[in-house]
Amino acid sequence: MYRVRFLASLLALALLAPAAALAVNTGTADFTNYVSAGDSLTAGFMSGSLVDVSQRNSYPALIAAQAGVADFEQPLVSFPGIPNILTLQGLLPTVIVPAPGKGEPENLDLPRLYNNLAVPGETAGSMLTIKSDTQVPPHTPGLHDLILRGFGTQIEEVVGSKPTFVTLWIGNNDALGAATSGNVALLTPIATFQSEYQTIIGAIASTGAKMAIANIPNVTSIPFVTTIPPILVDPTTNEPVIIGGSPVPLIGPHGPLAPDDHVLLSASADLAKGLGIPVAAGGTGLPLPSSDVLTAADAATIDARVQAFNQIIQTAASSVGAAFVDANALLNQLATTGIEVGGIPFSAAFLTGGVFAYDGVHPTRYGYAFIANAFIAAINTTFGADIPPANLGNAIFDPEFAPGGPTSSLAAARGAVHETVWTRYLFTPAAMKNLASVLQTTQKVPAPKPPRKRG
């Protein structure tokens, strides 16, 4: 009994001690100057926004905290972020809008480079070539200037930081835009990606820093792609509409959609107008535009390209002795069997799965903590470290970090009355504008012309 009380006392003292006072074994990984590089997933982007409440829980920030890094600086943005964070306004249908207000940089005058240099919307190519917003279309307003501050491209700043350890997660946007726009022309060619990625790895390796590198998830498995089925669903019951004994296929740009085709979350506003819905089912009979649909064939093309990218990434990681994080396998597990933590199930389901935020693309606070722990596990294995994992309980049970952050208003929304429409999800035009700013859908896809009237 005395031994139990003694151990409990030691544990209590450890929990009360400041984190900096606890020595962390980082093995052969040197976190003296830890720098993170990548895109929105590394920046801590959540619910369509770069905002401090999620940035402070980005996976690099969590890794830094667990590794005992005392001064990990990020380009923080005050609430409601840039662009404005998406919030849940109603439940039936689910109405998603940007929060009002204007986010402002909090530490723009930091007299050194940030530790987290990831830029939302960045591709492998832009990481090498773009240093300010004067070089890019207005679909990424202010983000290069906010984060890189004109000192150089992202890779130039990573190298200029003289890092001792780097986490790298880049390449997601080389495939994501194709999935979120239904346009496979947006895929980066394999040879181009290989050249760009090897240049990035070579530049980081030239600093002598050790690395942890993640591959690319299957972007066709995210809620933005998988949430809306290719058949008509009654939003009041969430059951398929049956006419003549069969479900009613939605109408795509080339006719009725097949069971394996995907209707994107961006189609919600068009479905609410009756597009894609047969006249017999109460719709207009006009097709959804191609930008609302990802066909099964195009999804297969994207998946094959991601597989090729991931082979390039894994080979590059092996060539420099980096810790390797199989983010692709993690998302596949979420999308298929789900993951259970402490008896609580998590999945890739939109809104209810607990992993993806209101934009259907980026993680919640729990999702980022889960990713941080995957990085930590890989670092521990590769470099003989013993970095403790981030506390998932904080991410699961803190109500401030529900998918939409502190602006969630589920209680009020439950009492709201909405007109029944043919979709359960409605993104306002302002919300879609926010998403377009980081989804790399820069090439406009022409909408199909309405069919000519005969006779």
What is the share, in percent, of the chain residues with pLDDT greater than 70? Answer: 84
Question: Is residue 178, in this structure, part of any structural domain at all?
Answer: yes
Question: Is residue 276, in this structure, part of any structural domain at all?
Answer: no
pLDDT band at 376 (very low <50, low <70, confident <90, very high): very high
Question: Is residue 106, in this structure, part of any structural domain at all?
Answer: yes
Question: Is residue 248, in this structure, part of any structural domain at all?
Answer: no
Query: Is 247 a residue whose pLDDT tops 90?
Result: yes
Whole-angstrom distance, CA of residue 265 vs CA of residue 54: 23
Is residue 370 classed exposed, middle or buried when 0-12, 13-18 and 19+ CB atoms within 10 A define those classes?
buried
Query: Is 7 a residue whose pLDDT tops 60?
Result: no
Query: Is 433 a residue whose pLDDT tops 50?
Result: yes
Reported as type and span, the H/E element at residue 86 is strand 86-91
Q: Write out the residue range of the structural domain in which residue 345 sits.
A: 24-220+299-412
Question: Is residue 268, in this structure, part of any structural domain at all?
Answer: no
pLDDT tens track for 31-58: 999 999 999 999 999 999 999 999 999 9
Q: Domain of 211: which CATH number?
A: 3.40.50.1110
pLDDT band at 413 (very low <50, low <70, confident <90, very high): very low
* DSSP assignment string, 199-265: HHHHHHHTTT-EEEEE----GGGSHHHHSB-SB-EETTTTEE-EETTEE-BPEETTEEPPTT-EE-G
Question: Is residue 423, in this structure, part of any structural domain at all?
Answer: no
Question: Is residue 115, in this structure, part of any structural domain at all?
Answer: yes
Q: Are 91 and 410 in contact (CB under 8 A)?
A: yes
Q: Number of structural domains, the chain?
A: 1
pLDDT band at 334 (very low <50, low <70, confident <90, very high): confident
pLDDT tens track for 216-228: 999 999 999 999 9
Q: Which two tokens stand for residue 402?
A: 């529900």
Question: Is residue 143, in this structure, part of any structural domain at all?
Answer: yes
Whole-angstrom distance, CA of residue 371 vs CA of residue 367: 6
